[in-house]
Amino acid sequence: MNALDRARPLLTPAAREEAREVSGYIDLLGPDRHESPGMAQNFMLTSALPRIYERWWRPALGRVAKGAFGPGMNEEKRIARLLMALSPGDGVLDVGCGTGNFTRDFARSVGPDGLVVGLDVSETMLTRAVNDTAAAGFDQVAYVRGDAADAPFLNASFDAVCCFAALNLFADPYAALDSFTRVLTPGGRLAIFTSVRGRSIPLRTFETVISAQSGMNMFERDELVDALAERGFTNVRQRLTGVTQFVGGRLSE
């Protein structure tokens, strides 16, 4: 059974009715144009971005946001794996997977008996992800085009959920957190990499302007830590670097 066939039973009944295979991934949105919350996500949906995203755009933008001494891309992957405590056989949902760079890394950790599902709204990103994943020889990876802010999966479908560099782009990030919580098994782990507001008045003023122009969310320092605790997560951890943060926790059993 291939990864797409393994992923289909995890979809909600409504999503299964809409599902069709396109270019090697499951498409739940069809030709409908995705409504993005602002300029930043509009750019993420362009056809040009997949060609530069993995090598240039994501590392460069991350370096600026994380600061000169912040973790690089390989360290980001390591942090994600640690926050999710991945082990062979796990089921993982990678929200806002883009071209599948992190998705494929998680596939190495869960092994052939595990399953990693990458979820994104961008057709061009997913097409690149499918091609690169096939070239890398991972049979335990499936991609789904759907609403990342309302994961179209059954309750308790995944052992771990990752959302790196995407939560700040969602129109309703708290609905997305509710969705992540819903699809996690009891004891499941969540890993998030997203924005965090600075403390100085000039920086916060600049952040407000950027947020208004781009549609990106800027979170207060304790905002997501508190949000995870309110949703039943324990052992919530946070690492701040530049204007970004890594946050993770384990859902109560």
Q: pLDDT tens, 9-26?
A: 999 999 999 999 999 999
Q: 245 with 239: CB under 8 angstroms?
A: yes
What was the pLDDT predicted at 149? 82
Q: 116 with 141: CB under 8 angstroms?
A: yes
Residue 139 pLDDT greater than 50, yes or no: yes
Residue 188 pLDDT greater than 80, yes or no: yes
What was the pLDDT predicted at 51? 52
**Mean pLDDT confidence for 54-60:** 50
- What rounded mean pLDDT belongs to the chain? 85
Least confident among 18-27, 46-55, 237-246: 46-55
> Where is pLDDT greater, at 205 or 122?
122
> What is the C-alpha separation between 166 and 217, in angstroms, rounded?
10
Residue 50 pLDDT greater than 60, yes or no: no
The pTM assigned to this predicted structure is 0.84
- Cα atoms found within 13 Å of the Cα of residue 129, Cβ hemisphere only: 31
